Amino acid sequence: MQTHVQRIEKTGGPEVFGFVGTMLPEPEPGEVRLRATAIGLNYIDTYHRSGLYPIELPAVLGSEGAGVIEALGEGVTGFAVGDRVGTFTTRGAYATHRTVAADQLVRLPDDVSDDDAAALMLKGATAAMLVEDCAKVEAGMTVLVWAAAGGVGLLLTGWLKAVGANVIAIVGSEAKAARAREAGADHVILHKSEDIAARVREITGGAGVPVIFDSVGKASWSASLDSAAPRGLIVSFGNASGPVEGVNLGVLAAKGSLFVTRPTLFHYATTPEARQRYADKVFAMLRSGAIGAEIGQRFPLEAVAEAHEELEAGTTIGSTVLIP
């Protein structure tokens, strides 16, 4: 059968996307054919497109999506034609139909819509991993969240409040400050007009924060170093402004014997059971009201270049969903 995909033949700006039709083979053993109903847009997609994170080309991008199983390959058990499922750890989601290894699928509950699942799974599982498994945030801790009005930032803020943390949110505008407060932020810092480290020290009585979630990268690294409490942990999980390079161990010592980690979800969600467990945690947080899908904009799959442009320009709010 035919599928339509957003494919890149080379790395570069959003203009490298090409929306093309291609034949989709029948599922191999262990695979299913999936008809996409909603596709999540994530910042990591821009890293793959630009070449910051090298991948084999040509490529179809996108890791997050919801859909319906249309066909089963030999040996697939536990799933049936017609099941609603999601993916968040395998590339190729920018497609109307695709084949996917069955062990990459997670089940979608009846009370979670396809759009919400596509907007939440990768970003929500990332939030779960960062808060619970990477930083192991405990109730009463004060935590700094960069880009707190973005897709992951809003989820992080809500998740942190659910576990009892105090959240200092960094945003770029008053509109985004309002969004962060709605998500539960206790304090908001406008990075364009305020001295971030000075404000963090003021809020914490000079102590600094024990955990920093930094998705910005190069442009935020210095302020993160200056905002950390002694023996604090900087969790650098994104490169929106470019990668952090040349980390100086001596500086980590001088700033207070700091810890730094660069985690990726794919090193935590390594088995089908772990992937389903993360998805179930996300859906439970959604039901509790601690987090929301926060879909700020939708684009047709044909307009993925425009979606990438707006994401990189910082004009999107919350999550973005592509509609096939």
Distance CA 316, CA 322 (A): 13
pTM: predicted TM-score of the whole model, two decimal places: 0.91
User: Beta strands 209-214 and 228-236: pairing type?
Assistant: parallel
Most distant CA pair in the chain, distance: 63
Q: Do domains 2-122+269-322 and 135-262 have the same CATH topology?
A: no
pLDDT tens, residue by residue, 224-281: 999 999 999 999 998 888 889 989 999 999 999 999 999 999 999 999 999 999 999 9
- pLDDT tens-place string over residues 122-150: 999 999 999 999 999 999 999 999 999 88
CA distances from 167 to 17, 131, 157, 158, 319 (A): 38, 12, 7, 9, 20
Per-domain residue ranges for the chain? 2-122+269-322, 135-262
What would the two tokens of residue 85 be? Answer: 């499922």
Give the pLDDT score at 241.
85
Q: Does the pLDDT at position 317 exceed 90?
A: no
> What is the per-residue pLDDT for 240?
82
Q: Is the pLDDT score of 318 beyond 80?
A: no
CATH architecture of 135-262: 3-Layer(aba) Sandwich (3.40)
End-to-end CA gap in the chain: 16
Fold of 2-122+269-322: Quinone Oxidoreductase; Chain A, domain 1 (3.90.180)
Other CB atoms within 10 Å distance of the CB of residue 202: 13
Q: Pairing state of beta strands 319-323 and 295-300?
A: parallel
Q: Which amino acid is at 273?
A: E
Torsion, CA 7, CA 8, CA 14, CA 15, rounded to 10: -100
Kindly state the tokens that stand for 79: 């799933």
pLDDT digits (tens, 9 = 90+) for 174-203: 999 999 999 999 999 999 989 999 999 999
Query: Nearest-CA neighbor of 287 among 107, 37, 109, 154?
Result: 109
Locus of tokens 């009005």: 149
Encode pLDDT of 66-85 as tens digits.
999 999 999 999 999 999 99
Residue 168's pLDDT is 98
